């Protein structure tokens, strides 16, 4: 394990599964042996308000907040939130928002699976083995919808590798 700290900014609006997606990522990093910090920023406390979450992991992480220009990966689920969150992305960082439309089409029969599908896309950009992502999904979903979410995650992983 190197000394690098990986930083991911998740964003969207309430009801899109932003917090669940960041929780899966946090658990996967923890299971992979990383030190993890996570922060959530809620806008309006109802469906439709701005929501963002920051996940940072590495050998040692001191702050949960991704600084402006510090995100290795930006995962924004809503196009209106993208301009606000793009400032977090490093110049050489990966903006995965281009995958949201493809994932939405892939999840047409299961729109609630969009966040897990996008976490699958995200997984292709991070040094965390698939087994740790699977264990994270089991932990986050606690028996309810675990197998369906694993399938959707793997669909997203294939999408991210294409």
pLDDT tens sequence across 89-137: 999 999 999 999 999 898 888 888 999 999 999 999 999 999 999 999 9
Going by pLDDT thresholds of 50, 70 and 90, the confidence category of residue 3 is: confident
C-alpha 120/C-alpha 80 separation (Å) is 22
Pick from 122, 125, 36: nearest CA to 77: 122
- Domain range for 79 is 5-161
What global pTM score does this model have? 0.93
Write the CATH number for 151. Answer: 3.40.920.10
- For the stretch 21-41, pLDDT in tens is 999 999 999 999 999 999 987
Domains identified in the chain, total number:
1
């Amino acid at each position: 394990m190197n000394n690098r700290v990986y930083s991911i900014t998740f964003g969207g609006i309430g009801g899109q599964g932003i917090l669940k997606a960041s929780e899966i990522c946090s658990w996967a990093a923890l299971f992979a042996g990383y030190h993890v910090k996570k922060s959530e920023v809620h806008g309006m406390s109802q469906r439709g308000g701005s929501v963002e979450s920051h996940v940072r992991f590495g050998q040692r992480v001191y702050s949960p907040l991704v600084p402006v220009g510090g995100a290795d990966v930006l995962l924004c689920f809503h196009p209106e939130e993208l301009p606000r969150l793009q400032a977090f992305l490093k110049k050489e960082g990966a903006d995965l928002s281009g995958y949201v439309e493809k994932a939405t089409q892939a999840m047409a029969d299961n729109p609630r699976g969009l966040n897990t599908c996008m976490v699958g896309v995200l997984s292709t950009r991070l040094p965390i083995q698939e087994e740790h992502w699977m264990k994270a999904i089991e932990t986050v979903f606690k028996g309810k919808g675990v197998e369906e979410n694993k399938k959707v995650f793997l669909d997203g992983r294939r999408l991210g590798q294409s």
